[in-house]
Amino acid sequence: MRKIASYIIYTILIACIACACSSDLDLKQSYEFKVTHLPVPKKLKVGETAEIRCQIEHSGYYQNTAYKLRYFQTDGEGTLRLDDGTIFLPNDYYDLDRETFRLYFTAGSEEQSNVDIYFFDSAGNTFTLNFSFNYDSKEDGSE
């Protein structure tokens, strides 16, 4: 009788373990994110550089999330670079290896410059920043 009772107990335990183990675990690997930045100047002289201090803020954390960026300049001329010296080419993808970084835009013409920066994560989420820089026609030292 003891053997039968122990077999029944073992059978029930195995059935409970089998039912508890499910391949339908829902591990969230995709979290929305945004890129915040400090205020930037609205006017630049030719050759003048604006610093854009950025921070990626996400609604959750998944260790293997990777971020990329690309940019487009729809008006004007200028260059965009990362704080490590990487100069970006329009339309190319670049890896971001950290969540706090600085971008530098240097005006290259007296025209208004419009810059759109697109951020992507490895889960397919995107976020866009838009900057518009007008030409600063004031002479140095004048008010």
pLDDT tens digits, residue range 57-116? 988 766 778 999 999 999 999 999 999 999 999 999 999 999 999 999 999 999 999 999
d(CA 78, CA 109): 7
Q: Give the pLDDT band of residue 9 (cuts 50, 70, 90).
A: confident
Average pLDDT, the chain: 85
52 has a pLDDT exceeding 80: yes
What pTM was estimated for this model as a whole? 0.75
125 CA to centre of own chain: 9
Read off the tokens for 54.
């950025």
Are the C-beta atoms of residues 91 and 58 closer than 8 Å to each other?
Answer: no
Query: Which 3 state secondary structure label does DSSP give 53?
Result: strand
Read off the tokens for 29.
């690997």
Q: Give the pLDDT band of residue 8 (cuts 50, 70, 90).
A: confident
DSSP state of 44: E
Average pLDDT over residues 16-21: 60
18 has a pLDDT exceeding 70: no
pLDDT of residue 140: 56
27 Cβ contact list (under 8 Å, min separation 6):
none
Read off the tokens for 12.
């029930």
Q: Which residues pair with 131 in a beta bridge?
A: 115
- State the burial class of residue 100 (Cβ atoms within 10 Å of its Cβ: 0-12, 13-18, 19+): exposed
